Amino acid sequence: MATKSKAAFGYVTKAGYLNQKVEPPKYADYVIAELRYDKPIAYEASAFKAPAAAKKEADNLNQVLSHFDIANMGSLFGLGAAKVSKRVELAASLPSLPSGSTVEKRGGDPAFFQSNFVCIVPKCPSDAKRLAAALGKSEAVWGAYVAPRPVPAAATTGPASGSRNFEPSQGYLHSAPNGIGAMQVWDLAGAKGKGVTICDIEGAWNREHEDLPAGISLIGGDMLNDLGWRDHGTAVLGEMVARPNTFGAVGAAHEAKAVVHSAFFNQVFNLAGALSNAASKLKAGDVILIELQSTGPNGKYVAMQYWNDIFTAIKTAVSKGITVVEAAGNGDENFDLAIFKDTGLQKDSGAIVVGAGVPPTNYFDNANGYATIGAPRSRIWFSNYGNIVNVQAWGWHVTTLGYGDAQGGSEKSWYTLRFSGTSSASPIVTAAAACLQGRAKAKNGTPLTPAKLREILIKTGTPQEPGPGVPLSQKIGPQPNLASAMAKV
Amino acid sequence: MQPAIPVPGHAGVRLPIVVELKKGWHYEEASGSFAHGRQRFDPAEALPAGAQVTQRFPAGSIPPRTTQERELARFVQLVLPPDDVPAKYLDLVQRWPCVANAYVIPPPSLPSLPQA
């Protein structure tokens, strides 16, 4: 049976994360015994029976049953007594150890093959294992085993019609060290981000996606009309606020309110203006996410706070009590180089800068085959790094909305298993920040300061690991662990 | 490999020259000039026709009450006509008496991997 490790909101099972309660199976543990083709043995509700030729073997089986309290037995396939008895005739005519084709030639039909399987239900489920072992020793039985308990198909595949459920593959929600422990804390008041507004700043979103909450407002700027950018924004929102239901994904802070702001005004790129405008519409305790990068002086992508107008805008937002989360960027750049002295890459803007870490299960697939991309929680080769990079999260193959590689159909029902980059890492941290602020407001009546929130995430996180070619000196920081962080609120 | 999803060309995105004014200077929209006390500097003659100077931070979003908000007010942007190249004017702008620093932020991209 799938094992539960948490029952407050959802469940971690061997099949993955389930957001709905799993009803116990109809039957307790029971044994399936497969009779040999050539043994002319039938069975009734409480015993095996056989003509004289096989009476001894039937008696042996009944002897085994006598050591247990049997609730019921019968055909595994629900065959009636007549069909079960009929197997005796054919079995008696078969040579020892007949092949399947021999059985068929002698008249063995599907019912005959099915009649070999006996279902035996002990009154005490814990007897099933011993009963199976004892029956398995009989010469009349090919094999006997405890029937596997089913996991409801709906738990991993969603409803019979409509979109599938991809929540089992959202490992980043699971407990540390693998994930950020979001599921662990969801039962705490406020810890799903309630009362917190998250503003994602980039360029386009599909706000009509079936798994997003209704009413996500564009609070400033103009959307780009581009599918790639729209998929990206949709994926980002999905990680944070996708609705909890029986299909799609679930956001780590799915009770937070999401709004979006474009960094483009009348086709002019102005992230600083977007930050300032967004901050003017938010309140202390809210969270802004910067999902952009641009090319630095070495020709590599860097975090946006490198530019002074943006650095200043971040500082201003943070001074208002708004937490700003910023993607470090995918330039494989070292922010501690001398060339960045006195720039925003070596100064504290107050933002939480996020690097891309290797998730626990990972591979790089291309025309040459598959290869792992590194040790869990080590820096992914493309992630920027340095002293200002505070924390990391999954930067590879994050399951969320958009793109359509996991499920196609209309754009509003697209899902992906492959969202990657500091792009995928940053929303995880943003959602973690929203969960903490929601909890702080519920518990203390007031949000944390951005500095305190960042400090908690860093101090309670799961440490970065070294990997081949990516030593710890290439700092991207720890992965947030909300289970530990909540204790500090 | 540096994963990125670039700004699509068809979006026609323009990159302004970001100007950080020296302390005490500000941009007067009414006159279209930079001012500091009695000093004035009119940028119009140095810029191509159709160029616009605007506050970097949209009006209304920054009531300048705090030091940091006053800092924001020091940033303006020069938006050139679509066919003009901002970098061509960068040296010129940096020599203006009111300018502490000027730069063009390269085209932004999304820090993710493009998917087929």
Give yes or no for residue A127 having a pLDDT over 70: yes
Q: What is the mean pLDDT of residues A348-360?
A: 97
Ordered domains of chain A (ranges, CATH): 31-146 (no CATH), 151-488 (3.40.50.200)
What pLDDT score does A148 carry? 61
What's the pTM value of the predicted model, to 2 decimals? 0.75
pLDDT band for position A2 (50/70/90)? very low
C-alpha A308/C-alpha A135 separation (Å) is 77
Q: What is the mean pLDDT of residues B92-108?
A: 97
Contact A438, A402 (CB under 8 A): no
Tell if the CB–CB gap between B101 and A272 is shorter than 8 Å. Answer: no
Tell if the CB–CB gap between B108 and A272 is shorter than 8 Å. Answer: no
Instruction: Give the pLDDT confidence of A214-248 residue by residue, as tens digits.
Output: 999 999 999 999 999 999 999 999 999 999 999 99
Nearest-Å Rg of the Cα atoms of chain A is 30
> For chains A and B, what is the number of CB pairs under 8 angstroms?
157
Query: Can you give chain A as a three-state secondary structure string?
Result: CCCCCCCCCCEEECCEEECCCCCCCCCCCCEEEEECCCCCCEECCCCEECCHHHHHHHHHHHHHHHCCCEEEEEECCCCCHHHHHHHHHHHHHCCCCCCHHHHHHCCCCHHHHHHCEEEEEECCHHHHHHHHHHHHCCCCEEEEEECCCCCCHHHHHCCCCCCCECHHHCHHHCCCCCCCCHHHHCCCCCCCCCCCEEEEEECCCCCCCCCCCCCCEECCCCCCCCHHHHHHHHHHHHHHHCCCCCCECCCCCCCCEEEEEECEECCEECHHHHHHHHHHHCCCCCEEEECCEEECCCCCEECHHHCHHHHHHHHHHHHCCCEEEEECCCCCCECCCHHHCCCHHHCCCCCEEEEEECCCCCCEEECCEEECCCCCCCECCCCCECCCEEEEEECCCEEEECCCCCECCCHHHCEEEEECCHHHHHHHHHHHHHHHHHHHHHHHCCCCCHHHHHHHHHHHCECCCCECCECCCCCCCCECCHHHHHHHC
Tell if the CB–CB gap between A269 and B15 is shorter than 8 Å. Answer: yes
Tell if the CB–CB gap between A421 and B113 is shorter than 8 Å. Answer: yes
C-alpha A218/C-alpha A216 separation (Å) is 7
pLDDT band for position B72 (50/70/90)? confident
Taking all residues of chain A, what is their mean pLDDT, rounded to a whole number? 88
Q: What is the mean pLDDT of residues B20-31?
A: 92
Instruction: Give A406 to chain B, closest Cα distance, Å.
Output: 12
A-chain residues near B75 (CB < 8 A):
272, 309, 312
Q: What is the mean pLDDT of residues A202-211?
A: 98
pLDDT band for position B115 (50/70/90)? confident
Instruction: Give the pLDDT confidence of A289-338 residue by residue, as tens digits.
Output: 999 999 999 999 999 999 999 999 999 999 999 999 999 999 999 999 99
B interface residues, A as partner, C-beta within 8 Å: 1-5, 7-8, 10-16, 18, 20, 56-58, 60-62, 66, 68-69, 71-72, 75, 77, 79, 101, 103, 105-115
C-alpha B53/C-alpha B77 separation (Å) is 6
What pLDDT score does A9 carry? 42
Q: What is the mean pLDDT of residues A179-206?
A: 98
Token pair recorded at residue A96: 């020892």
**ipTM, two decimals:** 0.94
B-chain residues near A292 (CB < 8 A):
108-111
Which pairing describes strands B75-79 and B33-36: parallel, antiparallel, or unpaired?
unpaired
What pLDDT score does A452 carry? 98
C-alpha B20/C-alpha A310 separation (Å) is 12
Judged by a CB distance cut-off of 8 A, whether residue A329 touches chain B is: yes
C-alpha A221/C-alpha A201 separation (Å) is 10
Chain A window 209-238: which residues touch B at a Cβ cutoff of 8 Å? Answer: 220, 224-226, 228-229, 231-232, 235
What pLDDT score does A8 carry? 39
pLDDT band for position B63 (50/70/90)? low
Judged by a CB distance cut-off of 8 A, whether residue A405 touches chain B is: yes
Contact A353, A388 (CB under 8 A): yes
Please give the backbone phi and psi of residue A44, each rounded to the nearest 5 degrees, phi first: -120, -165
Which of these, A366, A291, A340, A282, lies nearest to A316 by C-alpha position? Answer: A282
Q: What is the mean pLDDT of residues A327-353?
A: 98
Give yes or no for residue A474 having a pLDDT over 50: yes
Tell if the CB–CB gap between A295 and B106 is shorter than 8 Å. Answer: yes
Helix (H) or strand (E) holding B21: strand B17-21
Chain A window 78-137: which residues touch B at a Cβ cutoff of 8 Å? Answer: none
Q: Which residue on chain B is closest to A420 by alpha carbon?
A: B112
Give yes or no for residue A432 having a pLDDT over 90: yes
C-alpha B74/C-alpha B69 separation (Å) is 9
pLDDT band for position B40 (50/70/90)? very high
What pLDDT score does A21 carry? 44
DSSP secondary structure, B36-57, as one string: ETTEEE--GGGS-TT-EEEESS
pLDDT band for position B64 (50/70/90)? low
What pLDDT score does A90 carry? 84
Tell if the CB–CB gap between A229 and B13 is shorter than 8 Å. Answer: no
The more confident residue out of A199 and A39 is A199
Tell if the CB–CB gap between B11 and A331 is shorter than 8 Å. Answer: no
**Nearest-by-Cβ selection for A309 from B20, B60, B108:** B20
- Show Cβ contacts of residue A272 under 8 Å, excluding neighbours closer than 6 positions: A307, A309, A310, A312, A313, B18, B56, B57, B72, B75
C-alpha A175/C-alpha A189 separation (Å) is 18
DSSP 8-state symbol, B113: -
Q: Which residue on chain B is closest to A220 by alpha carbon?
A: B58
